[in-house]
A and B are shown apart, each in its own frame.
Chain A
Amino acid sequence: MTPRPPTHSASQWVEVIVLCDSADTELVADALRIAGAEGVAIEPAILLDDDADFTYTERTDVPWTVRGTVPAPFDTAGRRALRRHLTSLPLRAPLGRMRVVEVHPEQWSEAWKRFFGVLHLGQRTVIRPTWEKYRARPDEIVIDLDPGTAFGTGQHETTRLCLEALEAVVTRGCTVLDVGAGSGILAIAAAKHGATRVRAIDLDASTVAVVRENAERNGVSARITAAAGTLGDAWPWPRTSPIECADVVVANISSSAVRAMLSDIAAAVKPGGAAVLSGFLAVDAGTMVRAARRAGLRHVTRHDGLEWSCVVGRRGSASPD
């Protein structure tokens, strides 16, 4: 009879968790390293403003968390030495309780994938992580995309709202400009919906390589050009020449960024074309609709999700409509 496999594999690691003043994190982290931690994680207390932006404020009035992972077993003598060391440090504020917990063994390189599966967005847009299989319906477009270092995995409501809007406004043979492209998910969707020329720009230069890689993976790299910059910068924008304008301009950024660029965005839309704007909360959508009208967009409609919103507007035709 073969022996039964063990039902529980012993942990190789313990995690030492210390709560401390924000000014003391470096000293505590150093103490954990001396105690044998091969790496330390410092988690600041953050205040997430409700301004729908990519920013946050670090709070210094509440404790921060410092975690050190020490190879198991972390015996009593080791724990006692660490406690002694911590109490000897010239800290700004008294430490919170130190906790030592066993780290449950896990296949870390694979575990994160459970958060991602095949996503159905809009009527016919599918996001497929590369490790998943999916058989598409004839009318569906499938975007192969693994989450990574740029915003735009398909999991955020603003991405979903933009993808839905693109289904309606992108027509075969049209041109598209994606402002704040992130992972390139919207640019790739536009290309797969039939856009022949898509330009994707982002202030973050590191996303350019991500867009190119994702476009390549999806077989649309010939139709997508990526560059770092913003409107009027990556491609100096000739407002007077409609040739360089796009049939569809999509910008999923933040309320402040979209509002600041709105007149440039509107100017970048070809007469008769559409602007798709998102990245702001539904409570701010009314303001955005009015700003879009002031910027010269017509037939402005808002599409609210649970918390976020997307505003779509058209630029008037060259001939009176």
Chain B
Amino acid sequence: MGSVGEVTPQQMHFSEPLPLRSGAMLPAYDLVYETYGTLNAQRSNAVLVCHALNASHHVAGTYAGQARSEGWWDNLVGPGKPLDTDRFFVIGVNNPGSCFGSTGPRDLNPATGRAWGADFPVVTVEDWVDAQARLLDALGIGQLAAVIGGSLGGMQALGWTMRHPQRVRHCAAIATAPNLSAQNIAFNEVARRAIVTDPDFHGGHFYAHGVLPRRGLRVARMIGHITYLSDDAMEQKFGRELRAAEFGYTTQDIEFQIESYLRHQGDKFSDYFDANTYLLITRALDYFDPAREHGGDLACAFDAARGCGFLVVSFTTDWRFSPARSREIVKALVDNRIDVSYAEIAAPHGHDAFLLDDERYHRVVRAWFDRVDIG
């Protein structure tokens, strides 16, 4: 098993506006993407990888001259890996509204000549799917062999099968949910309030003030990070371990290692992530609810997906998107007599397990992709 090696992101310009679910339009925009492997002559071996909250088009491989620049799913995607780039042509694309190269809140709003900031139109999972479909049009790919994603990426993968069912033959939805629970939305709202109430946020137009709402972003990331780990994983990694040998009897300094870890994660995140993007992406999560327009009937929502084959994977210690949520998806598919396999992996890591290298998880994904027909 190898790496796809050094990769270079590519950029595609779209001059035709993208109609959004909200009724708004995203005017001309750019999408940044990467590809791995070779598109076959029949153009039948393309696999789209959809990214989650803080990831990007950089799925696999490394950047020249940059240490530790492996893509976020490098353990899954590459030659001889579960998603085998010797067989498949794999595409990673950064979604609009994100902050890793595709058009987002940091870019200029052509109407004002200023950065979009908080005025960037609200984007949904379905809008991202449509943007991805346009990229495939431009790449000359009529139909995907498969679409795969974890967490929010899994929602996009599911969205593909409902929105463009004729353009996708297989779908792998990993550690995801058919919509957010009240608790999920609550965590998102705490994160958003942390950002919006940061004095440096300036109503989302902080770029003009030459500041960044770092405090808010840090807290948002800390909150998010708690939901990515299982109670056990956190206990095992940090427990009640102290930074010093004894209590310092301080209310503001770091005492416990878990505090140090969360603050470190928050600091790192606030260096590279955009506050407006965080608001947009958590909202896209909140809004995703394909059953809503079918009177709450998820099976009805998947009616369009007949003909597509599915793999659904959940992790037993994931309390953010628990196995019960994945079973709702499985039930809706079974009700439609759709081909689906479902693996419930007993992994200790919580939601983050979908990004980690777990033998049982990866071998199921590998076996499933091995059966994906490329004509």
The yes or no verdict on A and B being binding partners is no
Residue ranges of A at the interface with B (Cβ–Cβ < 8 Å): none
Residue ranges of B at the interface with A (Cβ–Cβ < 8 Å): none
